[in-house]
Amino acid sequence: MADFKAHLVGGVVVGSVFSAISLISFGLNIVQSFAIFTMGLLGGILPDLDSDSGKPLALISGSVSVLIPALLLSKINTISAINSTSPEFLISYFTLCYLIINYVICELIKKMTKHRGIMHSIPFSFFSAEMVYLLFSSSGKQIATMAALTIFFGCLIHLILDELNAFYFKFGFIPILNKSSGTALKLYSQDLWANFFMFCLVCGATIIIVA
Ligand SMILES: [Zn+2]
């Protein structure tokens, strides 16, 4: 399996290519292109969310614990009468979100997932792309499509890098597969329930997108 640094580099390459295409060919602005770049970076490490080292999970949960509450803040403004710009609200809100994401959701992910399970697969990459499409859809179809493609290819490069690392050369020239071969780039895991759950998530997200 490729190391964390190699996956970060893979994510940076995918993010850079797609943000450059967005900027030059599709006329997205600098901020939009940078958002596309971060999707590549995220895709590069996302399949290892359940890795035993905990590094990808720590990095993603750190970013998500700021990003998700910030994105939800405008929704809270529209549905509640609370003064969501007051310092007391912002301190309580961001602290609570940080604690829930880092100490409840992360612990659940660690307990419920097995490394190289369904999160390390093509369907999970596809589901991530669908989620990103929905997240960006309020900014327009073009940026949503580019962001979805970027995270999908970021994840795919991660899976390919791991698969390429699943063999070694005996005597310097005979390629020998090790036991992790075939566990990185896959369409399903050994866990039937996890496959069924992922299939439902992909179908549900597809229905929401096309509806
Ligand atoms: Zn991996």
In percent, the amount of the chain with pLDDT more than 70 equals 88
Per-residue model confidence (pLDDT) at position 168? 66
Residue 104 domain flag: no
State which amino acid sits at residue 130: E
Q: Is the pLDDT higher at 15 or at 81?
A: 15
Alpha-carbon span 158 to 52, nearest angstrom: 16
Cα of first residue to Cα of last residue in the chain, in angstroms, is 39
Residue 184 domain flag: yes
157, with CB counted inside 10 A (0-12, 13-18, 19+), is buried
Query: Where in the sequence is the domain holding 148, given as residue range(s)?
Result: 4-50+113-210
Q: Is the pLDDT of residue 207 over 80?
A: yes
Distance 183 CA to ligand 1 centre (A): 9
Residue 57 domain flag: no
Residue 177 domain flag: yes
Q: Is the pLDDT of residue 11 over 90?
A: yes
32-91 pLDDT, tens digit per residue, is 999 999 999 999 998 888 776 667 778 888 878 888 888 788 777 777 667 777 888 889
Residue 138 domain flag: yes
For the full predicted model, state whether its pTM sits above 0.85.
no
Per-residue model confidence (pLDDT) at position 156? 96
Residue 71 domain flag: no
Distance 120 CA to ligand 1 centre (A): 6
Distance 2 CA to ligand 1 centre (A): 7
The domain tally of the chain equals: 1
Distance 103 CA to ligand 1 centre (A): 23
Residue with tokens 């327009």: 140
Residue 88 domain flag: no
107-120 pLDDT, tens digit per residue, is 887 777 777 788 88
129-174 pLDDT, tens digit per residue, is 999 999 898 889 999 999 999 999 999 999 999 988 876 667 666 7
* In the chain, alpha helices (H): 4-24, 30-45, 55-79, 87-99, 106-112, 122-136, 141-164, 192-210
CA–CA distances in Å: residue 164 to residues 53, 56, 142, 148, 207: 20, 20, 32, 24, 34
Average confidence score pLDDT of the chain? 86
